[in-house]
A and B are shown apart, each in its own frame.
Chain A
Amino acid sequence: MNTSATLVKNLADQYGRSRNNLLPILQGVVEQEKYLSESSMIEIARELDIPASEVYGTATFYSFLEHKKMGRYIIRICKTITCSMKGKNQVLLAIQDMLKIDVGETTPDGTFSLLQTNCLGFCHKAPTMLINNDVYTDLTPEKVRGILSQYLTKNKEGGQDGN
């Protein structure tokens, strides 16, 4: 069995094999592999004994279930109204300038992916972003450069916390 298949089997053992457990299993694969490959979706369909098209249908509905290989750290910057009003664009430019990637891209070394997302629920501390599951608020171009530097250092030291 390849690693994907083992992972899917373990997740199915952990959560169960009924249709209700599809979303937690998809989330588990994304957490480990950073995206849902075609082969992992087929593997999930096999484990849960449902059509692969059903797995694909559910998987493509949710914006946090990625379908292309993402970087180790996924940056999701909020683009909804208050964050936009409070300087999201300047923060985004600072990130793009520092990492040399555009929205939707991943750095060549696979460290960062940059995405925009809808309301993160921190409008009183706008602008905000998520890096994986961690929230950063009251961002300024200067502050975001500092945060990314810390991640770069952490990454060089080879820390294991992808989350």
Chain B
Amino acid sequence: METNYQLKRADFIFKNENDWKEVLKKNINRPPHELINELISSELKGRGGAGFPTGLKWKLSAEVKSDIKYVICNADEGEPGTFKDREILSLVPFKVLTAMAICGHVVGAKEGYIYLRGEYFFLKPELNKAISEFEHYCKEINLDFTIRIFMGSGAYICGEETALFESMEGKRGEPRNKPPYPAISGYMNKPTVINNVETLAHAYTIFTYGAKRFYDLGVQYSRGTKLFSVSGDTPKPGIYELELGMSLTDFVNDFGDGDTKAVQVGGASGFLVPRKRFAETTIGYEGKLIGISLPTGGSMMLFNSSRSMFNVLDNYLEFFREESCGQCTPCRVGCQQLLKGIKAVKTGEKNAQHLDKLLRLAETMQFTAKCGLGQSVANSFSSIVENFREEMIY
């Protein structure tokens, strides 16, 4: 295997967590504003994919006056091609629990929940054991904070934060209108901080080593490291922690099988990048001045030249059609019609120009769907149809 020195590997997330008691004790004795400033100056952004600045999220919730507030860890990891959160919860659960409790101290919340997807039920016994040990220590140091696991039951949409609240409230997992945002009105209409598992693990790193250590990694607008879930046509599938800002060329040189035709960045709701665009594409958040910068929850799926992009898109659309909550028409009907449409073009029932109509439909969904699920279908749909049009037709 060729060694590539362009990709900067890192090892923070899975580094041992033996120091969690010290980290917790040290940080809950610091004033909340200091912790918020530390998080803001680290420029940590949400690692679930959306990339909202974490420090700002905590700050907004801290500023709201309410007797009851919640901290929720979003472990409803359902994006195709993403499997990092499971690994964090199995290997370093105390980092996540500690960051939740520090968040509770910052915003004034006494109750924390982990919303764990139903598919990960097997993690529950070990995680509960960790929680008991954690809560025991909290009592020892007079910290009033509890954590409960709430199990999901097989619904991708519940990873959307407001759908997750609905689910926890015993309802169908249908997203709410925003605003109000969770920081103001979330679970049970109380101020709620909801963070992805990995975001909390990074917060632990920041509260352990300081903001500068984190900020010095990555590139402008995209600071720190990120876990990448690598799968598909690669000789080394798995989970890798890399600095943000890498170019896709470097990524493919390291992880490709020598015949990579395209990479899906960000799962089924992300973008497909064809080979000719690898060089100009980097992985990070918006704000880059040259080329394209793609944010991601960390899902990197590689496809080699043996793969049919029609089959890939067909698989994604079937996924979305099943997982759409059905609440808003653009998403419910749009997903069905996109799937029906590409099949009709493939079988010759409709001519190739029908694809242009479908692209307009995808664009309409992007503007009119109620939540991120419906809005993001256009990402993969348009990037696949535009770059591999001939594979959709023949």
Contacts and interface: CB of A to CB of B under 8 A. Distances in A.
A58 B173 CA distance: 8
Contact of B323 (A22, A23, A84, A118): A118
A82 B81 contact: yes
B81 A63 contact: no
A124 B228 CA distance: 11
Contacts of B154: 62-65, 117-118
A94 interface: no
Contacts of A153: none
Interface in B216-258: 229-233, 237-239
Interface residues of chain B: helix, strand, loop or mixed (majority): mixed
Contacts of A27: 118, 151, 153
Interface residues of A, number: 36
Interface stretch (A5-13, A98-106, A127-135, A139-147): A127-135
Nearest to A117: B154
Given A23-B153, A27-B153, A65-B153, A124 B78 contact: no
B83 interface: yes
A55 B78 CA distance: 24
Given A81-B316, A123-B231, A124-B230, A64 B156 contact: no
A46 interface: no
Given A23-B167, A85-B232, A118-B78, A123 B155 contact: no
Contacts of B188: 20
Given A81-B268, A82-B301, A118-B323, A124 B82 contact: no
A124 B167 contact: no
B315 interface: yes
A108 B169 CA distance: 38
A124 B231 contact: yes
A72 to B, nearest CB: 17
B151 A23 contact: yes
Interface of A: 18-24, 26-27, 57-58, 61-65, 79-82, 84-85, 117-126, 130, 133-135
Which 5 A-B pairs have CB atoms at the shortest separation, nearest pair first?
A22-B170, A64-B154, A124-B237, A62-B153, A123-B231
9 contacts: A23-B150, A23-B153, A23-B167, A58-B172, A61-B325, A62-B154, A63-B322, A81-B316, A121-B85
Given A27-B118, A81-B232, 16 more contacts: A20-B170, A58-B171, A62-B154, A63-B155, A64-B118, A80-B268, A81-B80, A81-B268, A82-B81, A118-B323, A121-B77, A121-B86, A123-B81, A123-B301, A124-B83, A124-B231
